[in-house]
Amino acid sequence: MSAAVDDVGQQTPVREPAHEDGPPGIGSYLFSARDLTVSFGPVIALDGFSVDIPRGIVGLLGPNGAGKSTFIKASLGLVTPKKGAIFVGGLDSRTQSLQIRDGVGYMPEHDCLVPSMNAVELVSYFGLISGMMTRDSMQRSHEVLDFVGVGEERYRQIKSYSTGMKQKVKLAQAIVHDPPLLFLDEPTSGMDPQGREEMLELVRMIGSSDKTVLVSSHILQEVELVCDYIVIISNGKLVQEGETKTLVAGEEGVQSLTIRGDEGSLTRFVRMLGEACEIMEAKEEGGKQMTLLIRGCRDGSRIFGLARDSGVQIRRYQPERLDLEEVFLRSFRGGGKDGN
């Protein structure tokens, strides 16, 4: 029944957008969630969570216990939502979870490999269970094990593997049937820096083949490196989403200005600048240098003029660029670029 796979791959979902001011490209989503609520007894793991996941590599970012894994499991039908639904390629998780699963690859966050099998056996076995023919699945297992970088060890029992190798085999079993949608739950967990880098490179390569790859993580730098789009979740709620480059771009019209000079001239400059535009933030850096966040000074030449007059030197003058950590922290402060 390859139809189910094609469904997931090709159909355009029929649904109404979650947010009126949603991100660009609405209608091209493979995967979206509507008002998803999941609770475990008194713990509310997901609380009315709605999101549209565009194609490409999407980061699902949030602190421990935010509900990232729960969201992935709910998408697979491994936990039953109290409310809401998930749509994958036009399929509804409430009634068609089997067809959804058939087009999905899942790399769980915890250990899940059968220790008595070797990597080839395991990957080809789960390829068969995903509906591959015997010969295809054997051939493809070797192909994906080559891809993830498991060498001759593939013939050794999995119980003898290091954490890094297990992570690679977990990834291999998730991509053996080449699903259009991939859930990677903390793919770099437990790996050393080099292993992380390799894993991220693998994710990047998989993502370049027209797939939707949802990568959950609480490591900001990683997500920033590989993801085109970022969804930030906390306490089971969506707190922020957007393209990585927009999220880190900072607010429009806000400039970051670094100046250098003696104390007197710095004070004079800041006073004069304050009359010309709004100073949002001023940080002293060791007495002789300051970095200012300013808004509303359209004209750069005016600033350069003021600097000349007050005898300070301009070291850097550029639009504000946040790193993801800043975005993350701001979204939790309830502020953020469209919050305040």
Closest CA to 177 of 57, 53, 5: 5
State which of residues 78, 85, 279, 329 lies at the interface with other proteins (CB under 8 A). Answer: 78
State which of residues 69, 99, 173, 255 lies at the interface with Mg ion (CB under 5 A). Answer: 69
Whether the CB-CB separation of 23 and 177 falls below 8 Å is answered with no
Q: Which does 340 bind (CB under 5 to 8 A by kind): ligand ATP, other proteins, Mg ion, none?
A: none
Nearest approach in angstroms of CB 235 to ligand ATP is 9
Radius of gyration of the chain (CA): 24
Q: Give the SS3 label for residue 106.
A: strand
- Give the sign of the dihedral formed by CA 193, CA 199, CA 201, CA 203: negative
Q: Which two tokens stand for residue 26?
A: 């609405």
Nearer to other proteins, 176 or 248 (CB): 176
- Residue 81 touching other proteins (CB under 8 A): no
- Give the sign of the dihedral formed by CA 293, CA 295, CA 300, CA 306: negative
What interhelical angle do 134-148 and 119-129 show, nearest 10? Answer: 130
- Residue 188 touching Mg ion (CB under 5 A): no
Residue type, 198: E
Nearest approach in angstroms of CB 63 to ligand ATP is 7
Q: What is the DSSP letter of 118?
A: B
Site for ligand ATP in 90-119 (CB under 6 A): 109
Q: Characterize the bridge pairing of strands 104-107 and 31-40.
A: unpaired
Distance CA 310, CA 303 (A): 11
State which of residues 67, 187, 242, 261 lies at the interface with ligand ATP (CB under 6 A). Answer: 67
- Residue 244 touching ligand ATP (CB under 6 A): no
State which of residues 35, 47, 92, 136 lies at the interface with other proteins (CB under 8 A). Answer: 136
Site for Mg ion in 71-110 (CB under 5 A): 109
Q: Which two tokens stand for residue 306?
A: 């003021």
The region of 23-31, 46-54, 135-143, 293-301 touching other proteins under the rule CB under 8 A is 135-143
Distance CA 165, CA 191 (A): 9
What string marks each residue from 191 to 220 as x (binds other proteins by CB under 8 A) or -?
Answer: ---x--xx--xx--xx-xx-----------
Distance CA 217, CA 61 (A): 5
Nearer to ligand ATP, 23 or 65 (CB): 65
Question: In what side-by-side order are the strands of the sheet with 43-53?
Answer: 43-53, 31-40, 83-88, 91-92
What string marks each residue from 30 to 49 as x (binds ligand ATP by CB under 6 A) or -?
Answer: ----------x--x-x----
What string marks each residue from 265 to 294 as x (binds ligand ATP by CB under 6 A) or -?
Answer: ------------------------------
Question: Residues 6 or more apart from 293 whose CB is under 8 A from it?
Answer: 254, 255, 256, 257, 279, 280, 281, 282, 320
Point out the residue whose Cβ comes nearest to Mg ion: 69
Q: Site residues (CB under 8 A) for other proteins?
A: 1-2, 4-5, 76-80, 98-99, 101-102, 104, 106, 108, 110-116, 125-126, 128-133, 136, 140, 143, 146-149, 173, 175, 177-178, 194, 197-198, 201-202, 205-206, 208-209
